[in-house]
Structure 1
Amino acid sequence: MKARHIDHVNLRIPEDGVDDAREFYRDRLGFGIEDARFKAGEKPFLDVRLSATAVIHLWPTAEFEPPTATNYDHVAVVVEESVEAIETELDAAGVDVEETLESPLGATGEAGAVYVRDPFGYRIELKERV
């Protein structure tokens, strides 16, 4: 089997967290939200569009439990901006930076990364392109 890339990641969110998800992922981080089929009741999740080939599926559920250190660490998203530009954008958007690392190892090599938490407790790594 020859894998090409990760297509999507599924994350559960609180049933009443859809507006918070849109505000964080779209308005603060600048990712696209694809939710027409969700709004129409045609599928049970909405998508955060990361790139042409990758999305995060957000599944609203009444059974949501915040992630813990024992069952989740982070999702890493490669972005075009430098660490400095990422930090500047996050500051302007009012997003708290949890941690910045100079060169964590990833699938394509070492590059700087900034870590933030979404409204539901998920840790998101915003990683410079190698």
Structure 2
Amino acid sequence: MIARHIDHVNLRIPAEGVDEAREFYGDALGFGIEDALYAAGEKPFFDVRISETGVIHLWPTASFEPPTATNYDHVAVVVEEPIDAIESELDAAGVDVEKILDSPLGATGEAGAVYVRDPFGYRVELKERV
């Protein structure tokens, strides 16, 4: 088997957190929100489009429990912008930066990364392209 990339990640969010998710992932981070089928009641989740080939499925659920250090760490997303531009965009969007690393190792090598938390406690790594 030869894997090419991660297709999607599934994350649970609170049932009442849909608008917050759209604001964070869509408005603040600038990712695409694909929610027509969810809005039409045709599927129980909606998508955050992070690239042509990758999405985050967000599943609103009444039994949501925030992530903890023992069951989740982060999802890493490679972005085209350099680290200083990432920081500037986050600052302009009012997103708090949790930490910055100069060169964490990832699937494609070492590159700078900025870590943020979404409104539900999930950590998201925004990593420069190597």
TM-score (norm 2): 1.00
In structure 1, C-alpha distance between the alignment counterparts of 2:19 and 2:13, rounded to whole Å: 11
**Gaps spanning 5+ residues in structure 2: where?**
none
Match of 1:49 in 2: 49
Match of 2:106 in 1: 106
Match of 1:115 in 2: 115
Q: CA deviation at 1:117?
A: 0.1
In structure 2, C-alpha distance between the alignment counterparts of 1:82 and 1:96, rounded to whole Å: 18
Deviations along 1:74-116, whole A, 9 cap, x unmatched? 0000000011000000000000000000000000000000000
Q: CA deviation at 1:50?
A: 0.3
Is it true that 1:85 corresponds to 2:85 in the alignment? Answer: yes
In structure 1, C-alpha distance between the alignment counterparts of 2:52 and 2:29, rounded to whole Å: 17
Deviations along 1:23-80, whole A, 9 cap, x unmatched? 0000000000000000000000000000110000000001100000000000000000
Which aligned pairs between 1:3-82 and structure 2 lie closer than 5 A?
3-82=3-82
Paired amino acid for 2:128: E
Paired amino acid for 2:127: K
Q: CA deviation at 1:7?
A: 0.1
Quote the sequence identity (%): 83
**TM superposition outliers: structure 1 runs of 4+ over 4 Å:** none
TM-score (norm 1): 1.00
- Residue correspondences, number: 130
CA-based RMSD of the aligned residues comes to: 0.3
Q: CA deviation at 1:2?
A: 0.7
